[in-house]
Amino acid sequence: MLLQAARLLRCTEEGRPFYDEFTAVFATLISSLPLQPHTVGLFHARYDFSFSSMEAARNLAELKLQQQNKTIDLTGRRITSTTITTYQIDVRSCAELMQLFLNARLIRCANDPEKGKFKHEMLFQLTPKGIAIVDAFSQRHGVASPNVVDLLNSQHNSMKLVNLERNPVTDQISTSETVIEIIFQRFAGRKPNTTPLHRAHDTDVSSVSDMYLESSAGVHVHDAKRIHLKEYHNCFSGMAAKLWLMDCTSIIYAHEAQMILTTFLQYDLVTPADARSMSPGDKFVMEKNAYYYMSEKGKNLAGWPTTGSGLFHKHGPHRPHSPGSTPYRHSSSAARDKHSRLEHILEDPALRLLFREHLAENFCDENLTFYLESEKLLAQFHELDKNEFPTLEKVNVCLSEAWVVYHAFLAPGSASEVNIDHLLRQRVREGMIAEELDTVTLPGSQPIESISTAVTKLTEIVKLLDDVRRQVFRLMASDSVPKFMRTAKFLELGIEV
- In tens, the pLDDT along 210-246 reads 789 889 999 999 988 888 888 888 899 999 999 999 9
User: What residues of the chain score a pLDDT lower than 50?
Assistant: 198-203, 308-335, 437, 439-448
Angle at 374 between CA 483 and CA 62, to 5 degrees: 125
Give domain status of residue 167, yes or no.
Answer: no
Q: Are residues 199 and 311 in the same domain?
A: yes
Q: Quick check: is 25 in a domain?
A: yes
Indicate whether 486 and 352 sit together in one domain.
yes
117 and 181 co-located in one domain? no
Which residues on adjacent β-strands are paired with residue 108?
125
Domain boundary among 152, 185, 210: 152
Q: How many domains does the chain have?
A: 3
pLDDT at 103: 96
Q: Of 317, 350, 374, which residue is a domain's last?
A: 317
Summarised one tens digit per residue, pLDDT across range 80-115 is: 666 677 787 877 888 899 999 999 999 999 988 888
Same-domain pairing of 425 and 285: no
pTM over 0.95: no
How many whole angstroms separate alpha carbon 496 and alpha carbon 329? Answer: 6
Among 104, 119, 152, identify where a domain stops: 152
Residues 144-185 have pLDDT tens digits of 677 789 999 999 999 999 999 999 889 999 999 999 999 999
> Of 110, 155, 163, 156, whose CA–CA distance to 136 is shortest?
163
Per-residue confidence (pLDDT) for residue 6, from 0 to 100: 54
pLDDT of residue 439: 42
Residue 373 carries which side chain, given as an amino acid letter? Answer: E
| Residues 345 and 355 sit within 8 Å (Cβ to Cβ) | yes
Whether 322 is in a domain gets the answer: no
Q: Are residues 229 and 304 in the same domain?
A: yes
Same-domain status, 125 and 227: no
CA gap 440, 131 in Å, rounded = 34
Q: What is the pLDDT of residue 423?
A: 94
Q: Is residue 161 part of a domain?
A: no
The count of C-alpha atoms lying within 13 angstroms of the C-alpha of 332, restricted to the half-sphere facing its C-beta, is 0
CATH of residue 485's domain is: 1.10.167.10
pLDDT of residue 186: 96
Q: How far is CA 186 from CA 3, 95, 245, in A?
A: 42, 34, 10
Establish if 170 belongs to a structural domain.
no
pLDDT at 332: 38
Written in H, E and C, the secondary structure of the chain is CEEEEEECCCECCCCCECHHHHHHHHHHHHHHCCCEEEEECCCCEEEEEEEEHHHHHHHHHCCEEEEEEEEECCCCCEEEEEEEEEECCCHHHHHHHHHHHHHCCCEEECCCCCCCCCCCCCEEEECHHHHHHHHHHHHHHCCCCHHHHHHHCCCCCCCCCECCCECCCCCCECCCHHHHHHHHHHHHCCCCECCCCCCCCCCCCCCCCCCCCCCCCCCECECCEEECCEEECCEEEHHHHHHHHHHHECCCCHHHHHHHHHHHHHCCCEEECCHHHECCCCCECCCCCCEEEECHHHHHHHCCCCCCCCCEECCEECCCCCCCCCCCCCCCCCCCCHHHHHHHHHHCHHHHHHHHHHHHHCCCHHHHHHHHHHHHHHHHHHHHHHCCCCCHHHHHHHHHHHHHHHHHHCCCCCCCCCCCCHHHHHHHHHHHHHHHCCCECCECECCCCCHHHHHHHHHHHHHHHHHHHHHHHHHHHHHHHHHHCCCHHHHHHCCCC
420 half-sphere exposure, CB direction, 13 A CA radius:
28
Confidence (pLDDT) at 207: 61
Determine, yes or no, domain membership for 345: yes
CATH number of the domain residue 291 falls in: 1.10.10.10
Half-sphere exposure of 404 (CA within 13 A, CB side): 23
* Domain extent for 231: 177-317
Look at residue 157 and tell me if it is in a domain.
no
Residues 282 and 429 in one domain: no
Q: Return the pLDDT at 476.
A: 97
Residue 324 lies in a domain: no
